[in-house]
Structure 1
């Protein structure tokens, strides 16, 4: 038995005991479920035939984000403001690092099943969140994970991620391949695209350093898409995983959904999503043009996010979530291949935004 499995068995017993005390119910069965990359999720079966989901959050000195506080408080805010297409937050124990939520019974949504209807659901959900910006206590919500409100901020974030990956030792084959990709492929592409972005901003009389206006900010799960959605038996779609939730840039929320590598959607579906979002954010006058300009930058960022498995502290989080030893080299080569495909995609269309930026006609 590996060290993660041993630790997982011990943790499961502690989770059962802690959640029983939190709920005031005897837990008759506990089962690890889900395929999360940052946390462990369990299905709790209780003595009164009720079910709950318990989530145990990764905590480490290298990870400064309070995932439990962000997710639980954000879901509380949303639930109290009428958003019900999320798991109801029940109770949390910050000392133990665990929270209990409504258990959502249903199936994951696979890309081949996505139709116009599902696209409308996700767009309406994001627009519903935007309507909560002025609600009481919305100002207490955190910034979304790595939220930056200027183009310069986004570029600085890419630089930070690039430096972190470039500083890793390169004595193993997978790390040698990483270094080659970063220096021979990524860096030249980044330089070319950053120059293009500067030129487009200048042509549009938009700023590299100035932050966007308040009306161009929104509330967003940040890591959002069908990979974090469950379809109930009655067809209702429930959105889960709000560890990165907070204030964000509307353009980032749109670009991330269009680019997210976890779910590959058809181009017509992506176009429909963009049209819905631009129509819903019609008060943001420069949004369509900003999406076109920052789209390739977020594509570059996704290239580097896909390479997180090369970073030791990120591998720790993956191992914790899966409660198993990882085949590190195999995983790293797979992720490097994904990053290469993402880079080629961005290089092929950064000068001509692939979705047109059209707004729906009345």
Structure 2
């Protein structure tokens, strides 16, 4: 994990959470770089212990409880003793914050993503789904349990692009991309999916406990090449197809589609999925490429920009230019 600021004295929240967890008193804390939705600090305690303090973004326009989703997911995994995640130590719901164990590691570089790492990611999903997910398990953010719900999820994302903030840097370019590229592409893809399906409202049975937003952008690797997975604020019960498609569509540390059949089959075979589930993954992959284009456009929406400002000390102009470059790369991939 890379440091973003110089060490500063540990604040009251760090002290109270450490006390709740039964840990030694914090001495200092350091803001860590890389968070897109939250603020993350490395906390140094007396005696040399290190922990992670995470402050979750909350907004009246976004009702998702990120703290509860991540806390519930990690608490569910604790009895499995996987050693591939952070452990929850203490939380403060009023402060929208939690303390977690610290794991040494760094984000992998794009050129490090090979079959071995992809297999580790697939095995993590397999290991966390050794038993069927319970029907009363918290649903993941934007969970989909029918094909129609998948389509509606992308519909909502595309519709939000009509509300691009006119005051956002590069707003005119963002509007042109939305109107001239994303909306027409989604119209074509949506038509192909709906015309080819006769069971849009049939309940999907290949449900899993999903970390959501799963990919190497939310991972750390140690010096031996072993991966730890982090950031589960959207986790919950969901269709396995959604996780599989998301894994290959997130843009920060992309995964080559060469790995797609193997990754898909490792997960679906482990949960005894049917051939229809494999077919649904393949049909939905283009839809999720559109969804991720819309997610990249969040920088140009008011709520998305506020979340980025909370998590990242970077000028909005810089963030907007960076996002447009990423969006243009993703558009090129979609067209190819």
Q: Is the 8 A contact 2:169 2:320 kept in 1?
A: no
What does 1:241-260 correspond to in 2, within 5 Å?
241-260=231-250
What does 1:267-346 correspond to in 2, within 5 Å?
267-322=257-312, 324=313, 326-346=314-334
- Tell me, in whole angstroms, the C-alpha distance in 2 between the residues paired with 1:123 and 1:80: 20
Q: Which secondary structure does the structure 1 equivalent of 2:253 belong to?
A: coil
Q: Which secondary structure does the structure 2 equivalent of 1:208 belong to?
A: coil
Q: Report the more deviating stretch, 40-49 or 118-127.
A: 40-49
- Tell me, in whole angstroms, the C-alpha distance in 1 between the residues paired with 2:119 and 2:168: 46
Q: Which secondary structure does the structure 1 equivalent of 2:275 belong to?
A: coil
Is the alpha carbon distance of 1:146 and 1:59 closer, same or farther for their aligned partners in structure 2, counting shifts above 3 Å?
Answer: same
- Tell me, in whole angstroms, the C-alpha distance in 2 between the residues paired with 1:97 and 1:183: 37
CA root-mean-square deviation: 2.4
Q: Alignment length, in residue pairs?
A: 330
- Tell me, in whole angstroms, the C-alpha distance in 1 between the residues paired with 2:192 and 2:214: 28
- 2:221 maps to which of 219, 231, 246: 231
Q: Which secondary structure does the structure 2 equivalent of 1:132 belong to?
A: coil
Is the alpha carbon distance of 1:43 and 1:172 closer, same or farther for their aligned partners in structure 2, counting shifts above 3 Å?
Answer: closer
Instruction: Give 1:173 shift.
Output: 6.5
Instruction: Give 1:172 shift.
Output: 6.2
What does 1:203-242 correspond to in 2, within 5 Å?
206-212=198-204, 214=205, 216-242=206-232
Is the alpha carbon distance of 1:114 and 1:178 closer, same or farther for their aligned partners in structure 2, counting shifts above 3 Å?
Answer: closer
Partner of 1:73: 72
TM-score by length of structure 2 reads 0.89
Partner of 1:360: none
Instruction: Give 1:139 shift.
Output: 4.2
Partner of 2:15: 17
**1:189 has 2:189 as partner:** no
Partner of 1:160: 156
Q: Is the 8 A contact 2:18 2:90 kept in 1?
A: no
- Tell me, in whole angstroms, the C-alpha distance in 2 between the residues paired with 1:331 and 1:107: 22
- Tell me, in whole angstroms, the C-alpha distance in 2 between the residues paired with 1:108 and 1:155: 32
Deviation per CA, 1:133-153: give whole Å up to 9, x if none: 35xxx4443111111222222
Q: Which secondary structure does the structure 2 equivalent of 1:48 belong to?
A: helix
**Max radius of gyration: which structure?**
1
- Unaligned regions of 5+ residues in structure 2, if any? none
Instruction: Give 1:83 shift.
Output: 3.2
Is the alpha carbon distance of 1:90 and 1:210 closer, same or farther for their aligned partners in structure 2, counting shifts above 3 Å?
Answer: same
